[in-house]
Amino acid sequence: MDFTKLPSKGISVFATYKEIFVIVSNILKLIIEYEKKEYPKEYAFLINKTKDVSLNILSCLSKGYNKFNSDDKAEEYILARDYASSLESNLLLLIELDILPKEEIINQYINLENKLSMFNGIIKKMEQKE
C-alpha cells in the first residue's frame, strides 16, 4: 500500500500501523493463495484463526489511534500486541505443519517479531501520559 497517496491524516500517518500493515498484508496474501488451491480441510481452523488475528491487530491499532484518552489508547494497543503474539504462535504452527510456503512464513514471522518493540513503545508512551 502506498500510504503517500492518502490524505496526511488519520491512521495512514501512524507509523506503527503502516509497518504492521505490510506484514499483515503479506501474510493474508499467502493465505489467499493457499485457499485458492485444494488443501486439507483439517487446517481450515488454523487458517481462519490466522486471518482473524491478523485483521484484529490492524483493527486494534486503528481503534487505539482514534481514541482520545491515553488509557483507552493503551488498552487497544495492548490488545493489538496480544493479537500479534497470537499471530506469531499461529505462524509457528503453519511453519511446523508445512501448510504455507515455509520460507515466506519464516520471513513474515521475523518481520513481525522485529516490530513487537513498536507495540511496547507506544504502550509505554500511553502509560506515561496517565
**Among 61, 50, 56, 47, residue whose Cα is nearest residue 12:** 61
pLDDT band at 109 (very low <50, low <70, confident <90, very high): very high
Q: What is the CATH number of domain 8-128?
A: 1.20.1440.60
Place of cell 519464516: 106
Residues 80, 86, 89, 95: is their CA dihedral positive or negative? negative
Question: How many other β-carbons are positioned within 10 Å of the β-carbon of residue 110?
Answer: 12
Q: Show the DSSP H helices in the chain as ranges.
A: 15-36, 44-66, 70-96, 102-128
pLDDT of residue 88: 96
* Euclidean distance between CA atoms 61 and 79, whole angstroms: 9
Domain boundaries along the sequence of the chain: 8-128
pLDDT band at 90 (very low <50, low <70, confident <90, very high): very high
Write the CB contacts of 122 (distance below 8 Å, at least 6 apart in sequence). Answer: 16, 64, 77
**Does 7 score more than 70 pLDDT?**
no
pTM: 0.88
Place of cell 491515553: 70
Burial of 95 (0-12, 13-18, 19+ CB in 10 A): middle
Query: 12-69, pLDDT tens digit by residue?
Result: 788 899 999 999 999 999 999 988 887 778 888 999 999 999 999 999 999 999 998 8
